[in-house]
Amino acid sequence: MYKLLSVLLLSVALCGSVSYATPHLLVSKMILNEYVVEGKDLTIQYSVFNVGTSPAQTVTLEDDSFPKDEFVPVSGMLTAKWERVNQDANLTHIVIIKPLQAGIFNMSWAQVTYTDADGITKFGFSSAPGVVEVVPYTDFARAHEHHMMEWLAFMVMSAPTILLPFLMWYRSHSKYEDLKTKKA
């Protein structure tokens, strides 16, 4: 969220008081996951903002930064098309992919293509998340899962050290309690 706000503030600062007589699209690409893990879903959000004074038409967003042999799409498309993005409007496109192997990947920008009212085609690029490390699932599980089998094994192994002294005490206690009740 902070990255998105910083991109918007930076773009507004760079633009200053310049007004665009044509559509001008700002595109942000963000990874929504806290951890990028091998074999787990990775959510990518594209936000498109039209800061121009006229609508953008035939808007196409394409992201080729995910090799097909290393990432599998789960939901959504890495290529999206919209007929129109009005002035001062925004839209969001979400894609879920799954990394097939661990490693370090450069998740570069997405390309946006659109036309203005005069039919002139314009190109632009999104922000880029940069270099992202895909963590192996075994390392992630070791650090973040509940470890129920380990706790169950610990309980089974520690049960004799607790139960044997308790049983010895209980037998002794009940024996002397029986003698105490017989004498009284």
Convert the pLDDT of each residue in 8-19 to its tens digit.
544 554 454 454
C-alpha–C-alpha distance, residues 183 and 168, integer Å: 23
What are the residues whose beta carbons fall under 8 Å from the beta carbon of 82, sequence distance 6 or more? 59, 91
Q: Residue 78: pLDDT above 80?
A: yes
Cα 137 to the center of its chain, rounded Å: 15
C-alpha–C-alpha distance, residues 68 and 97, integer Å: 10
* Strand, coil or helix: 20: coil
pLDDT digits (tens, 9 = 90+) for 102-141: 999 999 999 999 998 888 999 999 999 999 999 999 889 8
pLDDT of residue 89: 93
Q: For residue 157, how many other CB atoms are within 10 A of its CB?
A: 9
